[in-house]
Amino acid sequence: MNQETWAETVNRKIRARENAAHKPLFTFSLQYDPAKKGGGWWVPLLSIASALLLCAMFIWANGMNPFTVYAKMAKGAFGSSFGISETLVKAIPLLLCGLGVAVAYRISVWNIGAEGQLIAGAIAATAVTVYWPDLPGALYIPVMVAAGIAAGAVWGLLTALPRTYFGVNELITSLMLNYVALLLLDYFVFGPWRDPEGFNFPGTPIFSLDQQLMTFSGTRLHYGLIFALAAVVLFSLLYSKSRWGYEMKLLGANPLAAKYAGISVNRHILLVMLISGGLAGLAGMSEVSGVSHRLMYGISPGYGYTAIIVAWLAKLNPWWMIVTSLFVGGLIVGGYSVQTIGLPSSMSLMLQGAILICLIGGEMLGKYRLVRRGGSGK
């Protein structure tokens, strides 16, 4: 009985306090909502802007005017028809590799080996020209494409197999294989495949015309563009319409539910790495056959890594990747153009990293929402 009275007393006290206390009209607070989609279209734009700002500080600290530098970059990438065609040329491997990593990332397979897979594709495509010099002309491109895709896929598989059968983290494997591929490339271009008439230039002889991808008239822009665009269309159709796409969607949303539905996660990891590697291998093939027309030292200025940014900036959406690959391609071309004013081309790498960091931060900030709590509402 005693307690009842106590509770009543307390309640009375509270009521009295409530009547007396000053009530704020409303208060705001930031509340984290994990279910909320991280922001809209403005998040990537804002991240790019803040990354530019961040890097501007470094440039400024280096005694340069960041505006001049950025203007120079923009002009170099998009300011002339030459610049635009160069940007497009860079965008092709980025788009292919970006699609490749995006396929994997959608089911949380962290392939960062696109670089190695690209190199493997380039080496295999070149091997066709080295070991079968007498193929009928029209056969070269299809065979080289097949070889490039196959080699990239095998390189991807080398990452996937340890993951599925030994539980080895694919991040580490794929990255280690990048170095292996790079050393393999060095071996070939400094060793057995070096052009005997190349004045010690570390590269193979120039491909014959049959072995080169056609270019759009008068530019360096090659038909690899068609591969890339076709891949975008195929990717988005498969993803939204096919059974495989449904399985991928499920695996991405809840791997346990997918397992419960009888979907083999391991099989998908293998498949995804095959596709991922194949696309990167195709990019490698189109680089040697469409751009440099030979296998040479430093065939890729880090396309495989940059592709990660292309994919993430587009939120893994294939259509957006067309836009982001152009943007990032422009960054690379712009990076070359600032060399004329004494800045290293790694400028663009720094910018890319900064953009990715800001993007991740921005996306997560977008998950917070402003909440009005308490106060006069009720």
Contact 281, 118 (CB under 8 A): yes
Residues 181/119, Cβ–Cβ less than 8 Å: yes
Site for another protein in 183-222 (CB under 8 A): 183-184, 186-187, 190-191
Q: Any idea of the CA torsion for 87, 92, 98, 101, to the nearest 10 degrees?
A: -150
Applying CB under 8 A, among 155, 193, 235, 312 the residue interacting with another protein is 312
CA angle at 251 for the pair 278 and 310, rounded to the nearest 5°: 50
Q: Pick the closer one to another protein by CB: 101 or 228.
A: 101
Task: Say which DSSP state 209 is in.
Answer: G
22 binds another protein (CB under 8 A): no
Residue 226 sits at the vertex; the CA angle it makes with 221 and 230, to the nearest 5 degrees, is 155
Size of the site for another protein (CB under 8 A): 84
What does DSSP assign to residue 22?
P
Residue 297 interacts with another protein (CB under 8 A): yes or no: no
CB 34 to another protein: min, Å: 7
Burial 133-159 (b: 16+ CB within 10 A, else e): eeeeeeebbebbbbbbbbbbbbbbbbb
Mapped onto helix, strand or coil, the DSSP state of residue 37 is coil
Q: Which of 73, 97, 103, 112 binds another protein (CB under 8 A)?
A: 112
69 binds another protein (CB under 8 A): no
- Closest CA relative to residue 89, chosen from 221, 218, 185: 221
Under the criterion CB under 8 A, does residue 32 sit at the interface with another protein?
yes
122 counts as binding another protein under rule CB under 8 A = no
What number of residues does the chain have?
A: 378
Say whether residue 63 binds another protein (CB under 8 A): no
Nearer to another protein, 79 or 366 (CB): 366
CB of 16 to another protein, least distance (A): 12
Q: For residues 250 and 326, which CB has a smaller minimum distance to another protein in the complex?
A: 250
Residues sharing a CB contact under 8 Å with residue 373, sequence separation 6 or more, in sequence order: 26, 27, 28, 29
Using CB under 8 A as the binding rule, whether residue 137 contacts another protein is answered as no
For the segment 315-344, give every residue that binds another protein (CB under 8 A): 343-344
Of the two residues 14 and 209, which places its CB atom closer to another protein in the complex?
Answer: 14
Q: What is the DSSP letter of 317?
A: -
Cβ-based nearer residue to another protein, 22 or 243: 243
Residue 141 or residue 343: which is nearer to another protein going by CB?
343
- CA angle, 163 then 151 then 117, to 5°: 60
Q: How far is the CB of 106 from another protein (least distance, A)?
A: 13
Among residues 240, 266, 298, 319, the one that binds another protein under rule CB under 8 A: 240
